Amino acid sequence: MVAENSMVVAESVEAAEAGLEILEKGGNVVDAAVATSFASCTCEPANASLGGGGAALIYLADEDRTVAIEFEGRLPRAATEDMFVPDLLPPGVEPHPSFGWRGTRNNAGWMGYRSVGVPGQVAGLCQILEQLGTMSLEEVIAPAIRICEDGYEVNEYYALMIGSHMRMLQQYPPIGKLLLPGGYPPRPASAYNRPTVIVQKELAQTLRKIGQGGSDAFYRGDIAKAVIADTQPHGSILTLQDYADYQPRTYDDGLVGGYRGYKLVCMPEVFGGIQVLQTLNLLEGFDLTALGHNSPQLLHLIAECFRRVWVDRFRYMGDPEFEEVPIQGLISKEYAEEMREHLDLERVPDEIRPGNPWKYQGDGRARAETRPPGPRGEGRNTTHLCTMDKDGNMVSMVQTLGSSFGARVMSGSTGVILRNYTNLFNPEPGTSNSIGPRKRPSSHDSLTLVFKGGQPLLTIGAPGGRRVITSVVQVLVNVIDFGMGIQEAIAAARIHIEGTDPKVPDGKLVRKLFADSRMPPEVAKELERRGHQVALMPDGNFALPVAIMRDLQTRRLYGGVTVPTPATAIGY
C-alpha cells in the first residue's frame, strides 16, 4: 500500500477503515490512532477490548518530540501473592500451558473472575486524545459505535479462533452467548453468502457514555459500577476504588538507542524494547550484509544474540516500581561489547549465563537479591496499529487482552470483555514475579520508532507473544542492513529462539530453533550441524508485524502487514 498523505495499518479491516475515516475528516495521526484503537476493541474480541490495556509511542514532528504513554492496567489492591495458594495443583500436574509454573484448579490463576484487573485501555486513549489530538472524543469514537450497532462480519481468522476456544468460552455465558450464536462458532464471511454478523448493543451504549463523559464515565461512573456488579458476585476482587484510582503513566521520551547511525525509540520500562535495543547492539559489531540475508552464518549469529538477550530478560526483567532493573546497563553499547566476546560464532554453546549489566548502570553495584527470580509471564494475544503522515508524525500503539479473549469473562450489562491480569504472574508466593497489589505485568510488546538523519522513517510493532521481540528485530535488520522495502522486510522468512527454558529455574539451554518453513533445506541442515534443533513452522507463527515507512525524498508512505491475517494498510 502506498499513500501520499496519511496511512493507517491495523490487524483488522474495520479498525483500519475507522482510522482512515478520521484522517479524511481532517484528524491528525493521533486522532486516527485513537479511533482505530476504539474500533479494534469492538471487532477483535480475542485481542483487544475496553477491558484490556496497552501502550502508545507518539512522535510529533513539529515539536521534534516523542511521548510514551503506558496504559497496561494494574492488579487490584486486594491482590496478594498467596491468593491462589489454595488452588495450586501438585508440581507437574497440569502446569500453566505457556509459562510452566504450577497450575491452579480450574485454571483459576489464568482465566475466570478472580484473574481480572483494572483495565487501562479507556484511560489511556482518553488521555492520548486530550493531550495530543485535535478532534473530540465523540467524533473519534463514532466509528466504533457504528461497528457495534451495525455489526461486523466474522472473518475466517476469527471464526477459527473462536471455534478453537469454544469450550472455554462456553464456561462463561455472557461472552459465550455473544461469540457462539446458537451455541456454535460463527460462520466466516468469506465462506458463506450469509455470514455471521455480531451486533453489540450493550458495548455501543458503553462507548456512547465514554464519548460523552470521557474517562470518568468509565472509571468513576455507571460503567465501573456495572462491571463490579457483574463480576464481584462471581469472585472478582476488583473494587470501585481500584477503578477510581487508575491513571496511565506518561514518559517525556521513549527508551532511546541507536543502530548503524539510525536512532531508535522504544517504549520504556516493562516492554520488549529493552531487548530489541540489546539485540541490535550485539549485531552492530558484525557485517551482516557480508554474511548474506538468511544465510546459515547470519541466522546462527542472530540466534546466538537472541539466546543471550533472552537469558538476561528472564533474569533481570520486572516492574521497576517494585524492583530494581538495570535498564540502562542492558542497552548500553559497552555491555554489548563485553557480551559479544562470549558469542560462539560456529556452534551452539553448552551453557549461557546472564551477564552483569549492573556494571554499566552507572553506580557499579550488583543488585541485592531478596527473592529468587521467577519465570516471566508474557501476554500472548495483542493487536497492533500504526499511523503516520507525510510530515513524519507517527504513532505505534498496542492493545492486549493477555490471553485469547482475556479472562473469557464479559461484563454482560456493559459488553466489556475483561483481561486476565493474574495470568502473567507466578501464582507461587516468594518470587520476584509473584502476584502483588497494583503490580503491572512485564510485556514483550516492542513498539519502535526509527529515525534516519534526524528524519522520521518508520513506525513498527507486532502482536505475537514472546516472538514479537525477535520479529521486530529481524524486520529492522531487513530494512537497515539489507535495504528492503517494508512489505518485503515483513514478508521475509524469520526465526525465533529464546535462551534458557523460562519454565525451569536455572533452566538448561534451549536448542530448539523455530524457523520459517520457507527456509531452504540446506540452510536448515547447516543450522543443525551447528547444534540447533530446527523446527520448521508456517510463517504465521513468527508474530504479525505491521509497519509504515516514509520515503525521505518523496515523503510517500509505504505500509507493510503480515499477509496471512486480516491485517490491512490503508491511506490516501
For 244-297, write each residue's pLDDT tens digit.
999 999 998 999 999 999 999 999 987 899 999 999 999 999 999 999 999 999
Which has more confidence, 365 or 156? Answer: 156
Place of cell 503513566: 249
Write the burial class of residue 64 (CB in 10 Å: 0-12 exposed, 13-18 middle, 19+ buried).
Answer: exposed
Sorting pLDDT into bands at 50, 70 and 90, what band is 17?
very high
For 316-364, write each residue's pLDDT tens digit.
877 777 778 899 999 999 999 999 999 999 999 888 888 999 999 986 5
Tell me what the mean pLDDT of segment 384-400 comes to.
97
- Could you tell me if 96 and 422 are in contact, meaning their C-beta atoms sit under 8 angstroms apart? no
For 559-568, write each residue's pLDDT tens digit.
999 987 899 9
Residue 363: what pLDDT? Answer: 65
Residue 287: what pLDDT? Answer: 98
Tell me what the mean pLDDT of segment 521-525 comes to.
97
Residue 192: what pLDDT? Answer: 65
Sorting pLDDT into bands at 50, 70 and 90, what band is 379?
very low
If one looks up domain 255-366+446-567 in CATH, what number appears?
A: 1.10.246.130
Sorting pLDDT into bands at 50, 70 and 90, what band is 80?
very high
Q: What predicted TM-score, i.e. pTM, was given to this entire model?
A: 0.94
* Percent of the chain scoring above 90 in pLDDT: 80
For 23-46, write each residue's pLDDT tens digit.
999 999 999 999 999 999 999 999
As a residue count, the chain comes to 572
Domain map (residue ranges) of the chain: 7-54+61-247+383-424, 255-366+446-567
Place of cell 473472575: 113
What's the chain's average pLDDT? 92
3-state helix, strand, coil in the chain (%, to 5): 35, 20, 45
For 408-432, write each residue's pLDDT tens digit.
999 999 999 999 999 989 999 988 7
Residue 234: what pLDDT? Answer: 96
Helix-then-strand count for the chain, H and E:
18, 21
Residue 365: what pLDDT? Answer: 55
Alpha-carbon distance values, 408 to 58, 118, 174, 477 (Å): 31, 15, 9, 37
Residue 301 clears pLDDT 50, i.e. is over it: yes
The string of DSSP letters for 82-143 reads TTTGGGBPPTTSS--TTT-SPPBGGGTTTSSGGGB-B--HHHHHHHHHHHH-SS-HHHHHHH
For 446-505, write each residue's pLDDT tens digit.
999 999 999 999 999 999 888 999 999 999 999 999 999 999 999 999 999 987 654 544
Tell me what the mean pLDDT of segment 123-151 comes to.
98
Residue 424: what pLDDT? Answer: 87
| C-alpha span between 13 and 34 (Å, rounded) | 15
Tell me what the mean pLDDT of segment 226-230 comes to.
98
Cell of 208: 456512547
Residue 508: what pLDDT? Answer: 57
Q: Determine phi and psi for 155, rounding to 5 degrees.
A: -85, 175
Give the pairing type, strands 533-537 and 512-516. parallel
Give the pairing type, strands 394-402 and 381-389. antiparallel
The helix-helix angle for 137-150 and 121-132 (nearest 10°) equals 140
Residue 191: what pLDDT? Answer: 64
* Percent of the chain scoring above 70 in pLDDT: 94
Q: Determine phi and psi for 129, rounding to 5 degrees.
A: -65, -45
- Could you tell me if 95 and 276 are in contact, meaning their C-beta atoms sit under 8 angstroms apart? no
